[in-house]
Amino acid sequence: MATAAAMRTPQLAQVRALESLVRDVARDAILPRYLKAARQHKSDGSSVTEADLAAQKALIARLPEIHEAPVIGEEMTPAQHRELWLSGAEGLWCIDPIDGTTNFANGIPLFAVSVAWMVGGETQFGVVYNPITDEAYYASLGQGAWLNGTRLPLRKAPRQLAGAVAGIDFKRLPDVLAAALVTRKPFYSQRNFGSSALEWCFVAAGRLDVYLHGGQALWDYAAGRLILAEAGGTSSQLNGHALNAEPPHKSTAVLATNPQLHAQWLGWLQDHAGMPPIL
């Protein structure tokens, strides 16, 4: 009879194969266009470049080397998102070819390729890769999270929210909550890096202690949520419920490096957003 460790070996091999594949796509489809691709605007106001489209095309072509399955990506229409989600109940790839397109187009070296293998709406393994810093974050369900071979987290979080460094995307937050975060901040300091996939990984690594984003789609967090969880972190929506993976739904994202800090962060946010606590 196969041992549990032996049964997990194929998935561990797959996540390392995925890391190698993502590095290849970044090298061939993204980096040659860095500082050259012009930013355009989609109908929803977000940015896209030829590099996003080239990377998505390359990922769709290469991912069947690991699993032959539908691929759902950011640079697709809502109708395609829904069709692919429904057709991938037994397994699908969820990709963001460049998370942080504005950073990429402006030459800010904080963007990433994010790829997750999902079954039944739950991520089984995933990779987030920043080709400029050559940092690959990856995780496999039940097997921990890693940064270039180093187990995450890299450091311990403070015990109290008052000592935390927070990542916050203010532009998607309700005005009353955004104002409270500025005028009555409960944390030590605040940052915003412009790539939600990387920010999930920064919390997993302990580079950020807590995080808040007002509206994330599946491809923003499909890989990062598993990486955070496998590093011992916790995530939820602002209402305390789990993030809703099914597109086109967007979820608030409340993150922390551990459950205790998450409880403090979520409680403060609910109090200052005028929400009753979720018991």
Among 3.30.465.10, 3.40.190.80, 2.40.50.100, 3.40.50.620, what is the CATH number of 161-272?
3.40.190.80
- The more confident residue out of 86 and 185 is 185
**Which DSSP string do the residues of 29-58 spell out, in sequence order?**
IIGGGTTTPPPEE-TTS-EE-HHHHHHHHH
Per-residue pLDDT tens digits for 122-141: 999 999 999 999 999 999 99
Domain boundaries along the sequence of the chain: 4-151, 161-272
Confidence at residue 9, expressed as pLDDT on a 0 to 100 scale: 57
Per-residue pLDDT tens digits for 194-219: 999 999 999 999 999 999 999 999 99
Confidence at residue 275, expressed as pLDDT on a 0 to 100 scale: 67
Asked if pLDDT for residue 86 goes beyond 90, the answer is no
Mean pLDDT value across the chain: 91
Per-residue pLDDT tens digits for 163-194: 999 999 998 899 999 999 999 999 999 999 99
Domain 4-151, CATH:
3.30.540.10
Confidence at residue 4, expressed as pLDDT on a 0 to 100 scale: 36
How far apart (Å, rounded) are the C-alpha atoms in residues 133 and 111? 10
Confidence at residue 42, expressed as pLDDT on a 0 to 100 scale: 61
Spatial neighbors of 209 by CB under 8 A, at least 6 apart, are 157, 158, 163, 164, 165, 166, 187, 203, 256, 257, 261
